[in-house]
Chains A and B, each alone.
Chain A
Amino acid sequence: MLVKKLYKWYNNTWRKIKKRNLKKAFCKKKEKMSAVKLTNVCFSYDDEINAVNNLSLEINQGEYIVVLGRNGSGKSTVAKLINGLITAQSGSVEVFGLNAANKSDLFEIRKSVGMVFQNPDNQMVATIVEDDIAFGPENIGVSREQIAQRIEFALNATGTLSFRNRPSSELSGGQKQRVAIAGVLAINPKILILDEATSMLDPVGREEVIGVIKKLNKENGLTVICVTHYMEEALDADRVIVMDGGKVVMSGTPEQIFACEKRIEECGLSLPRAAYIYNRLKERGVDLGDQQVYTVKELADRLCELFAKI
């Protein structure tokens, strides 16, 4: 009897404590938790020029970040620093509170930071698509049943279901890239870094992949860092970061960034084409309203309004 009572008491208290902890954890989640924190980071490939030059940057959990910048501005270097492929020569790189300089934390960091590169050929290991996707989770010791589930999820999320049994060497560049993304998703990362990963896809393939990534960001809370040369892709971001000369030179919402056309061009970038057309028309005295236009639809709407006026 006593034992039973004791057991009940113990169980209840345990439950209460657990509940309280959960609540605490939940409250914490509501605050913006920092996913990546770079502080005064320098990195040089050849000890002469700093590819990343005294850069500080904080990225919150769940954020959708787009990084823009000319070739050689240090975008890819930052991406590699974040998942510990290269180690900062000075300054600190923290991922979910873990320091990338600690060798013992590197494995954990790489597990939580999935990376998709520009050229999918560099990222293919197995001959068959399905095996290739299984490679990541197998390596980190995921159980067999779970691997099957994850493959299913990754194939569905990237629209690669129809060629799961095909040799990856037979796929076109764009198809391979989607398989590469699936392979990373199978590791179930908390942060996904895409280093110009859509540059080899055709427009619809690109939209599909971006759609998937947006969904993963919104619904699963995946933190996304997307390095790209497509200005249109920046419009989807929570925050856009512009790099030049190894530094962050601009940071803000897409609207804030694209409001400074001259500055953008100085950084080797351009406006989304619809915004460019709007600006040129405005200069020539065609009044499409004061508010800046970014998308094709917005531009068409304004032209329509103007047409109705005259």
Chain B
Amino acid sequence: MRIICKDLTYSYDPKKKPAVYALNKVSLTINEGEFFGIIGQTGSGKSTLIQHLNALLPVQEGFLSVGEFDLSLKDKKKYKKQLKELRSKVGMVFQYPEYQLFAESVFDDVAFGLKNFFPNLNANEVAQRVANALNAVGLNYYEVKDKSPFDLSGGQKRRVAIAGVLVTDPEVLVLDEPVAGLDPAGKKELMALLHSLENGRRTIIIVSHDMDEVLENCSRIAVMQQGELVKIGTPEEVFNSNQSYAGLNLPVTVQVNNLLKERGINLNCNFKTEQFICDLERFFKKTTNN
């Protein structure tokens, strides 16, 4: 599903004068199947933006459509009618989703959303889809389904929480800081997991504070600053414009590149770490051979 945002504006306290905008005329398009990153300082409006995507926040001003759903409809009846279907198709994984686990067994927890969205499913279908979701997040269905979610490790809990969203087979998956609080090995695994959920159609949107993470993983990145979208593009475009963004640092490879540039050395390396290493190796070997 394609997401189109035009001049989206939102204020948590619309009556306040002068108005403080959490989102200020944000326009962007996210295509089907993209692995999209949103970065920005805390309080820059990232979370406000993504909460619009499954109508947790109503559109106050501007236009927003997610696939065939028009979320800026003024007709309240029509607007409300589409919400349930929309929410089953736009899955939202909040920061530290493991805090939202509540059921007695992993099975019940994962099945909760599914049963709510599709009350007509029979037990077999529910079991099948829960199994699929748990397998998709790299957990063994038979091993974990009867366990209490609270007996699992931090990384496993987070996977269960993601499975609970994945179970409705959403076409858009939005994750707010998916790797925060995980150890480096866990981070790597979870990012690999997210890539394994790509199927050409599913759009994955992550909000992150880790510049290296978005650089390595995202096809495009949007930069938010004080409620405004200040930059959107491929990682190369976003980090190569000699621009710095409030509250953010630059990925390590970009920092190295910029330091060298200051001293008049232009390496022309790809910024993705493994590529960066290869390019450097090639660069130095070539120059020594000459």
A200 near B95 with CB under 8 A, answer yes
Given the interface contacts A71-B154, A203-B209, does A268 sit within 8 Å of B183 by beta carbon?
A: yes
A252 within 8 A of B: no
Interface window among B109-117, B164-172, B245-253: B245-253
Neighbouring A residues of B252 by C-beta, 8 Å: 273-274, 277, 296
Q: Among A196, A201, A296, which residue has its beta carbon within 8 angstroms of that of B209?
A: A201
Q: Report the minimum CB–CB distance from A32 to chain B (whole Å).
A: 31
How far is it, in angstroms, between the C-alpha of A297 and the C-alpha of B252 when the chains are bound?
A: 10
Neighbouring B residues of A303 by C-beta, 8 Å: 256, 260, 265, 280
Interface window among B41-49, B60-68, B76-84: B41-49
Neighbouring B residues of A207 by C-beta, 8 Å: 249
B153 near A284 with CB under 8 A, answer no
Neighbouring B residues of A310 by C-beta, 8 Å: 284, 287-288
Given the interface contacts A70-B183, A71-B182, A203-B209, does A304 sit within 8 Å of B265 by beta carbon?
A: yes
B277 near A172 with CB under 8 A, answer no
Q: Report the minimum CB–CB distance from B11 to chain A (whole Å).
A: 12
Q: Within A179-210, which residues are at the interface with B (CB < 8 Å)? A: 196, 199-205, 207
The A-B contact count (CB < 8 A) is 123
How far is it, in angstroms, between the C-alpha of A170 and the C-alpha of B277 when the chains are bound?
A: 43
Q: Report the minimum CB–CB distance from A253 to chain B (whole Å).
A: 20
How far is it, in angstroms, between the C-alpha of A21 and the C-alpha of B151 when the chains are bound?
A: 54
Neighbouring A residues of B284 by C-beta, 8 Å: 286, 306, 310
B12 within 8 A of A: yes
B247 near A200 with CB under 8 A, answer no
A205 near B99 with CB under 8 A, answer no
B265 near A268 with CB under 8 A, answer no
B185 near A269 with CB under 8 A, answer yes
Q: Among B155, B181, B185, B253, which residue has its beta carbon within 8 angstroms of that of A118?
A: B181
How far is it, in angstroms, between the C-alpha of A188 and the C-alpha of B96 when the chains are bound?
A: 30
Q: Among B40, B181, B256, B288, which residue has its beta carbon within 8 angstroms of that of A296?
A: B256
How far is it, in angstroms, between the C-alpha of A71 and the C-alpha of B183 when the chains are bound?
A: 6
A22 within 8 A of B: no
Q: Among B42, B181, B259, B287, which residue has its beta carbon within 8 angstroms of that of A172?
A: B42
Q: Considering the complex, give the chain B residue whose CB is closest to the CB of A287.
A: B284
Given the interface contacts A119-B99, A174-B42, A201-B209, does A281 sit within 8 Å of B183 by beta carbon?
A: no
Q: Considering the complex, give the chain A residue whose CB is closest to the CB of B281.
A: A284
Given the interface contacts A72-B153, A202-B247, A296-B256, does A281 sit within 8 Å of B185 by beta carbon?
A: no
Contact string against B for A residues 259-279, beta-carbon threshold 8 Å, 1 for contact and 0 otherwise:
000000100111001101100
B70 within 8 A of A: no
**Size bin of chain B's contact surface:** 35 or more
B21 within 8 A of A: no
Number of A residues, CB within 8 Å of B: 45
Q: Considering the complex, give the chain B residue whose CB is closest to the CB of A177.
A: B42
Neighbouring A residues of B177 by C-beta, 8 Å: 200
Q: Report the minimum CB–CB distance from A70 to chain B (whole Å).
A: 4
Given the interface contacts A203-B209, A277-B277, does A270 sit within 8 Å of B42 by beta carbon?
A: no
Q: Report the minimum CB–CB distance from A236 to chain B (whole Å).
A: 16
Neighbouring B residues of A69 by C-beta, 8 Å: 183
Neighbouring A residues of B211 by C-beta, 8 Å: 203
A296 near B255 with CB under 8 A, answer yes
B263 within 8 A of A: yes
How far is it, in angstroms, between the C-alpha of A205 and the C-alpha of B249 when the chains are bound?
A: 10
Q: Considering the complex, give the chain A residue whose CB is closest to the CB of B249.
A: A203
Q: Considering the complex, give the chain B residue whose CB is closest to the CB of A118.
A: B181
Q: Among B186, B209, B212, B256, which residue has its beta carbon within 8 angstroms of that of A71?
A: B186
Most chain A CB inside 10 Å of its own CB: which residue of B12, B96, B154, B284: B284
A205 near B41 with CB under 8 A, answer yes
Neighbouring A residues of B263 by C-beta, 8 Å: 304
Q: Within A20-63, which residues are at the interface with B (CB < 8 Å)? A: none
Contact string against B for A residues 61-82, beta-carbon threshold 8 Å, 1 for contact and 0 otherwise:
0000000011110000000000
Q: Within B174-221, which residues are at the interface with A (CB < 8 Å)? A: 177, 180-187, 209, 211-212
Neighbouring B residues of A296 by C-beta, 8 Å: 252, 255-256, 259
B276 within 8 A of A: yes
How far is it, in angstroms, between the C-alpha of A101 and the C-alpha of B253 when the chains are bound?
A: 49
Q: Within A288-310, which residues are at the interface with B (CB < 8 Å)? A: 296-297, 299-300, 303-304, 306-307, 310
Q: Report the minimum CB–CB distance from A179 to chain B (whole Å).
A: 12
A286 near B281 with CB under 8 A, answer yes
B259 near A201 with CB under 8 A, answer no
A203 near B248 with CB under 8 A, answer yes
A249 within 8 A of B: no
Given the interface contacts A119-B99, A173-B95, A268-B183, does A273 sit within 8 Å of B273 by beta carbon?
A: yes
**Chain A interface (Cβ within 8 Å of chain B)?**
69-72, 118-119, 170-175, 196, 199-205, 207, 229, 231, 265, 268-270, 273-274, 276-277, 280-281, 284-286, 296-297, 299-300, 303-304, 306-307, 310
| New A-B contacts (9) at CB < 8 Å, excluding given A200-B95, A304-B265 | A71-B181, A71-B183, A119-B96, A173-B95, A199-B181, A202-B41, A268-B183, A281-B281, A310-B284
Query: 6 A-B contacts, Cβ less than 8 Å apart?
Result: A170-B12, A203-B209, A205-B42, A231-B184, A268-B183, A306-B284
